[in-house]
Structure 1
Amino acid sequence: MVDDEKAQNLFTGTKDVVDTLKFDEAKLITWMEANVEGYEGPLTVRQFKGGQSNPTYQLITPNKQYVMRRKPPGKLLPSAHAVDREFRVISALYPLGFPVAKPYGLCEDTDVIGTIFYVMNMVEGRIFWDGTLPGMEPSERHAIYQAKVKTFADLHNVDWRAAGLEGFGKESDYIARQIYRWTKQYIASETKKIPDMDALIKWLPENIPVGDKTAIVHGDYRIDNMVLHSTEPRVIAVLDWELCTLGDPLADFTYHLMNWMMPSSEPSRGALVDIKDMQSYGIPTMKEYVELYCKHTGRDSLPNVNYYFAYNAFRLGAICQGIVGRVRDGTANSANADVMEARVAPLAAFAADCACKVGMKA
């Protein structure tokens, strides 16, 4: 098992704001005074260590702590870093009692800090960066995974029209639109030819299965994108809604299931695929986890899983390549972003293998 303390030190907590992401704090204070109910300074600004995409800051005042998410400065990929969409979805979900941070305000005036941003409450609790949950008792792990899948199902069960998310995304052709989007961003970020990616770009849009119902999809639901209660196995905030839209919940859920199939992307994090006896370890097998999700969403089964796995691995490869492109363009947020290049070809190979199981020619 990997060193959990090392993972926590790498990704948890804050650091001084790096020079490339500094801004005029006086302008932010003026905006906070005018737009954040109950704000009282003075203000101290720190940058969170974790995250690859949208720079995230801790805003500390004597009586309260806030979180600010901003679009990064510099050259950006089309449609990426949509913090305004993040703000809209958490503003819709918060009144429903779904676990998200309380939103305070969105600023679309780039004269304030240089890019658009929003401010939300800082939710205090536990964030785990290693999905194997080392150091816990089996019963604790099992309870946390039960909470994870129940929260995910609750999201997919939300009546998005009643939540005010009409127009947040199109109601049909989700997979086709996603393939188009990530193909476009992959090509824009491409640094070398990967034959498996080229084959998937051709095969995936020609073999899309009949779609599921439309639901709110998170886009990157995983253990480190949620805050758990400090003592209870309960999700108190789901984070990082950048990829959220309306779409096929099975695409969203099968992406999450890849945690049971793929090796860890970070040497400091464990992988579920490396656990030999999941029952004694306390984490549900993929089959058990699927059964829990189906129970909570009223389904009998998950159809077309190999196609969905191929699509999701392709999508993840394109996301990783986008990070490589940002390194090339000088806009990457993480000092570790360049290691993503090594992930793209293995993800493409995994996707191609899944696609071949349902008809793609090798």
Structure 2
Amino acid sequence: MSAAHTTQDGPDPAALDLAVLDVFLAGHVDGYRGGVTAELVSGGRSNLTYRVTDGEHVWILRRPPLGTLTPSAHDMGREFRVTAALAGSGVPVAPAVALADASVLGVPFALTGFVDGLVVRSAEDLGALDDDTVRATAFALVDTLAALHAVDVTSGPLAQLGRPAGYLRRQVDRWYGQWQRVRTRELADVESLHALLDRSCPAESDHAVVHGDFRIDNAILDRDDPTRVRALVDWEMATLGDPLADLALHTVYGDPTFAPVLAGSAASTSPRMPGAGELVGRYTAASGRTLRDWAFHRGLAYFKSAVIAEGIHERHLRGDTRGDGFATVGEATAPLAAAGLAAARDTGG
């Protein structure tokens, strides 16, 4: 990708100004040898991700998506600080390299080291693994989530990541506020689900580092042993909060209802993956936590997923997505909201 990259409508707003980036790398990255090139790896659903190289070294650059942004989400500073703070914690992360504000490229961005490995995004990617490996990999991911939630957050940089008190209340309010910003239609189930969550919002049972978007394609796996997680990525929504929010969202990402949000053949929704009950059982065994207010957490996870789907749909309608697979994302919003209502009302747990 070059600084002159254009579309039929003119300059591509997702293109990087390589001349400016070259100056930044020369001043902030040890060993940089010049001649930077960049390739857009993914974009449109979340932050835009680029593979950046000088021909000898490789880095990953992340910047916010095009279009309307959620307040506090797509936070490059947060991604960078979390990744840097988790170094040496036992939770696998990419090495933090550099952080830039909007004065460099017009938007803030974070640079990390490149971690080579296997990223399992689609059912086709999952097809390269046998059933035993798929199952063991899914459990290794849950074990990694439990390890993340066990990291000490009482002191050091992670203690400054957020305010754990009131996390769930802020989540309900924040995601409903985002719904108001991105909705493209009225959906009664979204309103009913929000009202139910608003009435039943509990106090947190505990607090930990919450990843905020934990699923299989946000992990880099070892190519020779996919049951070994080499790095967790996409920390843009990380904060301190109730760890069960992470677990609930992870299980919702396994619901086939979510498949259109990830282009219809997502690895997380494959029937070859262990079901929600098995994943929850693995997590509770690894973490020692109990499923307090589980119906609320599941309902909130579906609510977030519905708003995420609608936000991607709204950006697609405005032409602010890059790549394929966005045309049907909006079809997931209503079913996710309906599933959330059912989950939140499930007093049987």
Please report the TM-score for the alignment, with normalisation by the length of structure 2.
0.88
Root mean square deviation of aligned Cα: 2.3
Q: Which residue number in structure 2 is paired with residue 269 of structure 1? A: 266
Q: Which residue number in structure 1 is paired with residue 74 of structure 2? A: 81
Cα distance change of structure 1 residues 259 and 328 upon mapping to structure 2, 3 Å threshold: closer
What is the CA-CA distance between 1:73 and the residue it aligns to? 4.9
What is the CA-CA distance between 1:107 and the residue it aligns to? 0.5
Which of 196, 199, 213 does residue 189 from structure 2 map onto?
A: 196
What is the CA-CA distance between 1:41 and the residue it aligns to? 2.1
One-letter amino acid matched to 2:320: T
Q: Distance in 2 between matches of 1:293 and 1:349?
A: 26
Q: Say if 2:184 and 2:314, in contact at 8 Å, map to a contact too.
A: yes
Which of 312, 315, 319 does residue 308 from structure 2 map onto?
A: 319
Moved more, 254-263 or 348-357: 254-263
Q: Distance in 1 between matches of 2:20 and 2:248?
A: 43
Which of 348, 352, 355 does residue 344 from structure 2 map onto?
A: 355
Q: Distance in 2 between matches of 1:56 and 1:273?
A: 25
What is the CA-CA distance between 1:36 and the residue it aligns to? 1.0
Q: Distance in 2 between matches of 1:255 and 1:312?
A: 5
What is the CA-CA distance between 1:192 and the residue it aligns to? 0.6
Q: Does the alignment pair 1:243 with 2:237?
A: yes
Deviations 1:122-154 (A, max 9, x none): 110000013692242222122212211111111
Q: Distance in 2 between matches of 1:341 and 1:143?
A: 33
Q: Say if 1:307 and 1:358, in contact at 8 Å, map to a contact too.
A: no
Which of 79, 90, 110 does residue 118 from structure 1 map onto?
A: 110
Q: Does the alignment pair 1:288 with 2:278?
A: yes
What is the CA-CA distance between 1:155 and the residue it aligns to? 0.5
Deviations 1:266-290 (A, max 9, x none): 3333565745xxxxxxx54433322
What is the CA-CA distance between 1:103 and the residue it aligns to? 0.8
Cα distance change of structure 1 residues 340 and 285 upon mapping to structure 2, 3 Å threshold: closer
One-letter amino acid matched to 2:292: P
Cα distance change of structure 1 residues 230 and 323 upon mapping to structure 2, 3 Å threshold: same
Which of 51, 56, 60 does residue 53 from structure 2 map onto?
A: 60
Q: Say if 1:53 and 1:333, in contact at 8 Å, map to a contact too.
A: no
Q: Does the alignment pair 1:297 with 2:287?
A: yes
Q: Which residue number in structure 2 is paired with residue 177 of structure 1? A: 170
Q: Distance in 1 between matches of 2:122 and 2:14?
A: 27
Deviations 1:42-83 (A, max 9, x none): 211111036612111111122211010012455434333211
Cα distance change of structure 1 residues 63 and 329 upon mapping to structure 2, 3 Å threshold: same
Q: Say if 2:42 and 2:50, in contact at 8 Å, map to a contact too.
A: no
Q: Distance in 2 between matches of 1:258 and 1:91?
A: 28
One-letter amino acid matched to 1:111: S
Q: Does the alignment pair 1:40 with 2:33?
A: yes
List gaps (5 residues or longer) in structure 2.
none
Q: Say if 1:17 and 1:47, in contact at 8 Å, map to a contact too.
A: no
- The number of equivalent residue pairs is 335
Q: Distance in 2 between matches of 1:333 and 1:260?
A: 24
Q: Distance in 1 between matches of 2:188 and 2:29?
A: 50
Cα distance change of structure 1 residues 149 and 74 upon mapping to structure 2, 3 Å threshold: closer
Cα distance change of structure 1 residues 37 and 97 upon mapping to structure 2, 3 Å threshold: farther
Q: Which residue number in structure 2 is paired with residue 127 of structure 1? A: 119
Q: Which residue number in structure 2 is paired with residue 345 of structure 1? A: 334
Which of 209, 217, 232 does residue 202 from structure 2 map onto?
A: 209
Q: Say if 2:115 and 2:220, in contact at 8 Å, map to a contact too.
A: yes
List gaps (5 residues or longer) in structure 1.
1-15, 276-282
Q: Say if 1:37 and 1:104, in contact at 8 Å, map to a contact too.
A: no
Please report the TM-score for the alignment, with normalisation by the length of structure 1.
0.85
Moved more, 286-295 or 16-25: 16-25
Q: Which residue number in structure 1 is paired with residue 220 of structure 2? A: 227
Cα distance change of structure 1 residues 48 and 17 upon mapping to structure 2, 3 Å threshold: farther
Q: Say if 2:93 and 2:233, in contact at 8 Å, map to a contact too.
A: yes
Q: Distance in 2 between matches of 1:20 and 1:330?
A: 11
Q: Distance in 2 between matches of 1:285 and 1:57?
A: 33
Q: Does the alignment pair 1:158 with 2:148?
A: no
Q: Say if 2:86 and 2:93, in contact at 8 Å, map to a contact too.
A: yes
Cα distance change of structure 1 residues 218 and 143 upon mapping to structure 2, 3 Å threshold: same
Cα distance change of structure 1 residues 284 and 355 upon mapping to structure 2, 3 Å threshold: closer
Q: Which residue number in structure 1 is paired with residue 95 of structure 2? A: 102
